[in-house]
Amino acid sequence: MTDPPTTEPIGSARGLPLSGITVVSCEQAVAAPLATRHLADLGARVIKIERPDTGDFARDYDQTVHGMSSHFVWLNRSKESVTLDLKHPVAGQVMHRLIDTADVFVQNLAPSAAERLGLGADRLRATRPGLVACAISGYGADGPYRDAKAYDLLIQSETGLVAITGTADAPAKAGIPVADIAAGMYAYSGILAALYDRTRTGHGATLEVSLFDALLEWMGYPLAYAMHGGTAPQRTGTSHAAIAPYGTYRAGDGTAVVLSIQNHREWVAFCDDVLRRPDLASDARFATGAARVAHRADLEDHIVEALAPLTGDQLQQRLGAAGIAFAQQRELADVASHPQLTARDRWTQVASPVGELPALRPPVITAGQTLRMDPIPALGEHTTAVLAELGYTADQILDLAEGRS
């Protein structure tokens, strides 16, 4: 088992579950940074290795957050940025010194790049059996797709997600990078499990997570539906392939409300108290869930007709009184000021190179603990301090940081 590092992480990590844990990560884009940001939230010291000059290429995805990338702001608070050219003649020595101080090493380098750089899990754990080494890739360490490009949209396409998302007229990708997020969260949970196991056995672990495998796990229901039902779930926009009524409906004033009928009791209440059409509840075309799906077009016509005289407020009042699950279909500008976020104090501020920025607090709330919300680092901000800890001189640090031989 590795000894805890002697240097406390930046910021307010004392007393948190992962205080004393050091993570070194050769990371970029979304999946690996998401995993390590969650580790940092819990108090881990995360040392982020970035390319000199350009850094993590997610820094340049956009410039919408006062000149910073929205992706980078989301994924990289509470980390220390160290710039290092991994092809520099001395870089291997630096990385091994860094990893010697670490409990966890994460990388999402190109396939086989870690091994070529001497950073493969087998080599590292041969001398550091207590290390948790996690590799994140597109398709996994072997197989015919091992070396294929694996951007989020491509993984969404290969796993069939695009085929079942969208409308009957056109498929669509998910609006967020779900393949990256899935892989990042499985890497995070796998690392936590490995650290827990290490407290019992003294041994670390070699973890492998691919975007492809992670998103396929999320595709479990549609895969089972297609494999055993003979057809894939149909693309139905915000509706549901196997449930009706379900999805977005509009009151006469245009207010969009999303609702879901889950059982017979709700269906009867919806007809009686919302549509004020009790006859529909006993209509043979709509009497069961399967019948409503089979006659969805006729059902939609009746619902549109019944809702046309109502305002949005009237519709929501009826739905609430009838005990029907519903939600407003909000635009993102409305979500930022959502009354639930305000009431529960879910927004806070984090420091950054461009000043204080709003950030949502981590989603897991632990009684009596405030998780870490430390600054978003500037590129290479911590290079000098971290390399000085390893014993490098000022001249050596400058050479390494700027990629000079």
To which H or E segment does residue 327 belong? strand 325-328
The two three-digit tokens of residue 144, written as one number: 């015919």
In tens, the pLDDT along 170-227 reads 898 989 999 999 999 999 999 999 999 999 999 999 999 999 999 999 999 888 888 8
pLDDT digits over 245-257, tens only?
A: 888 999 999 999 9
What CATH homologous superfamily does 22-219+346-402 map to?
Answer: Crotonobetainyl-coa:carnitine coa-transferase; domain 1 (3.40.50.10540)
Give dist(CA 352, CA 74) in Å, integer: 11
Strand partners, 136: 209
Q: How many CB atoms lie within 10 A of CB 272?
A: 14
Alpha-carbon span 174 to 215, nearest angstrom: 12
pLDDT of residue 278: 93
Residue 12 pLDDT more than 90? no
Question: What tokens does 150 get?
Answer: 């694996």
> What pTM does this model have?
0.87
Separate counts of helices (H) and strands (E) for the chain: 19, 11
Mean confidence (pLDDT) of the chain: 90
SS3 content of the chain, % helix, strand, coil (to 5): 40, 15, 45
The C-alpha angle 258, 263, 265, rounded to 5 degrees, equals 105
Q: Which of 325, 191, 181, 297 is nearest to 234 (CA)?
A: 297
Q: What three-state secondary structure class fits 194?
A: helix
Distance separating alpha carbons of residues 153 and 92, to the nearest angstrom: 33
The CA-to-CA distance between both ends of the chain, in Å, stands at 35
CB 295 within 8 A of CB 285: yes
Fold classification of 246-328 is: formyl-coa transferase, domain 3 (3.30.1540)
| Domain locations along the chain | 22-219+346-402, 246-328
Whether residue 3 is predicted with pLDDT greater than 60 in this model: the reply is no
Q: Which residue stretches of 165-263 are H helix?
A: 178-201, 211-218, 220-229
Cα torsion for 41, 47, 48, 53, to the nearest 10°?
A: 130
How wide is the angle at C-alpha 358 spanned by C-alphas 357 and 363, nearest 5°? Answer: 135
pLDDT, tens digit (0-9, with 9 covering 90-100), for 124-158: 999 999 999 999 999 998 899 898 989 999 999 99
pLDDT band at 388 (very low <50, low <70, confident <90, very high): very high
Residue 345's pLDDT is 93
